[in-house]
Amino acid sequence: MATAPQHLPMPEPVLRPMREDDVPAVVQAERDSYAFPWSEPVFRDCLRVGYLCRVLEIDHRFAGYGILSTGAGEAHILNVCVRPEHRCRGLGRRLVVGLFDLARAAGAEDLFLEVRPSNTTAIRLYQSLGLSQVGLRRGYYQAANGREDAIVMRLRLVP
């Protein structure tokens, strides 16, 4: 009698600081994921100005990234991406929760982010993590047919 294939557990994801030599992989993931990607100089500027830039790795292989700015008791998730081949495995959740932890460690009391209304998968993830809509930025994102609004979401990080 044949036995079913054994599924090995996924290696533990690691969130580590982004380095200059990560930027090409970050830019490629951005291009593979978004119709209007950030440019390489934008990512290099994020590192240069001291944003909290993180890379998510699985078994020492690049799987995604996140960028967080902090200041004045607030944190702002500027960009989050999981490579297409690593999606639907809980890695986006792990990445975002890791950014929450960084924000708390930096003394932020509130965390904000913008998300496209068309990105329902991300919206559901953010809502499941306790974020709620607090505003709308009209025409915030570039889109194929002009501009797309941004939903502004907030998470209170302290009780």
SS (H, E, C) 77-100: EEEEEECHHHCCCCHHHHHHHHHH
- Residues 7-13 have a mean pLDDT of 73
- Identify whether 30 is a catalytic site residue: no
* One-letter identity of residue 94: R
Helix (H, G, I), strand (E, B) or coil at 25: helix
Domains, the chain, with CATH or none: 14-156 (3.40.630.30)
CA–CA distance, 44 with 4 (Å, rounded to integer): 47
User: Catalytic one among 51, 65, 126, 141?
Assistant: 126
Q: What is the pLDDT of residue 86?
A: 83
- Residues 95-100 have a mean pLDDT of 97
Predicted model pTM = 0.90
Distance of CA 24 to the CA centre of its chain: 17
Length of the chain: 159
**What tens digit of pLDDT does each residue of 11-62 get?**
889 999 999 999 999 999 999 999 999 999 999 999 999 999 999 999 899 9
User: Catalytic one among 40, 57, 74, 114?
Assistant: 114
CA–CA distance, 33 with 95 (Å, rounded to integer): 16
For residue 90, count other CB atoms closer than 10 A to its CB. Answer: 13
Q: Is the predicted pLDDT of residue 148 greater than 60, yes or no?
A: yes
* Residue 12 token pair: 């533990």
CA–CA distance, 102 with 53 (Å, rounded to integer): 10
- Residues 67-81 have a mean pLDDT of 97
Q: What is the pLDDT of residue 4?
A: 53
- Residues 133-138 have a mean pLDDT of 97
* Residue 47 token pair: 């590192």
Q: Is the predicted pLDDT of residue 3 greater than 80, yes or no?
A: no
**What tens digit of pLDDT does each residue of 23-33 get?**
999 999 999 99
Distance of CA 17 to the CA centre of its chain: 14
For residue 63, count other CB atoms closer than 10 A to its CB. Answer: 25
- Identify whether 126 is a catalytic site residue: yes
